[in-house]
Amino acid sequence: MSSHTDRHPHREILVALRGQGFYGFQGRLFPCPPGTVFLLDVFEPHDSHYSAYSPPAVHLWIRVIRDIFWVHFSALEGGRERNLLEGSLILNRPSSGLLLRNLWDRAKAEPAADPALVHAKLGAALLLLLAEIHDRLAYEGGVTAGKSTEEGVLRALMRHVADQGGAGMDVRYLARLAGYSEYYFMRLFKQHTGQTVHQYIDACRLRRARELMRSGVSLKETSARLGFAHASSFSRWWSSHRTNKEDYPS
């Protein structure tokens, strides 16, 4: 866990469908038989991908970014993870998903609420969301490939990167969200936007850095907010990307 823990600025829901094994969450190891559900909140520590020793299993992942719910089915075999869908199933503002998100928010805001009642409400909302996912796959043709779908995926991801000011963003993370291989995602991004993923992330970081520093935020604090491990690393990056001397605070 010390070397394979992930934290990120979006929520995730893990539903175990097949197989056994364990899953690491908040520094603890939990059994993960079929029917197990994990609600992973923003920046909550959990396993990064899967161990090479993970037994065969199928897990449903639902990633929540703004009002969009990204659905993946991950098959685990021999320590490798394979996406069972062609890309991602994307639900835009699903009523069941928004209900689940709102109940989740309320549970965080009211920690003294009856746990049994909270679990019952969250479970009911999740069942509605799973039913909506099932209907989309079974009756509406599932994931539709094509230029419009790809553009929709990229637009949503670009908004996510811009919202975070590029902090914590890289190709591996974004490709995983989109449900594509890193190579295909990089090629797709360049094809649709005319720039590389790294160029776009840097542009978002640069814009957020200017906003923070012009509002009086210190270089050290700006560095931390943008996800740099050390202020010196940010200073080198900033020096190589700033366009004029006025970018530096007085």
My answer on whether 25 and 131 are in the same domain is yes
Band of residue 149 on the pLDDT scale cut at 50, 70, 90: low
pLDDT at 200: 93
Q: Which structural domain, as residue segments, surrounds residue 103? A: 5-143
Report the C-alpha gap between 248 and 214 in whole angstroms: 8
Whichever domain contains 185, its CATH number is 1.10.10.60
Per-residue pLDDT of 55-77, as tens digits, reads 999 999 998 987 888 888 989 98
Report the C-alpha gap between 44 and 222 in whole angstroms: 22
Number of separate domains in the chain: 2
Average pLDDT over residues 202-219: 88
pLDDT for residue 99 is more than 70: yes
Of the candidate ranges 16-30, 61-75, 169-183, 192-206, the one whose mean pLDDT is the lowest? 169-183
**Considering 102, 120, 143, which residue would you say is the last residue of a domain?**
143
CA distances from 152 to 70, 76, 101, 182 (A): 12, 28, 22, 18
Mean pLDDT of the chain, nearest integer: 85
My answer on whether 19 and 112 are in the same domain is yes
My answer on whether 187 and 233 are in the same domain is yes
My answer on whether 152 and 127 are in the same domain is no
**Considering 108, 143, 178, which residue would you say is the last residue of a domain?**
143
Report the C-alpha gap between 9 and 65 in whole angstroms: 9
Q: Cβ distance 178 to 153 under 8 Å?
A: yes
Q: What is the pTM of this model?
A: 0.74
My answer on whether 120 and 10 are in the same domain is yes
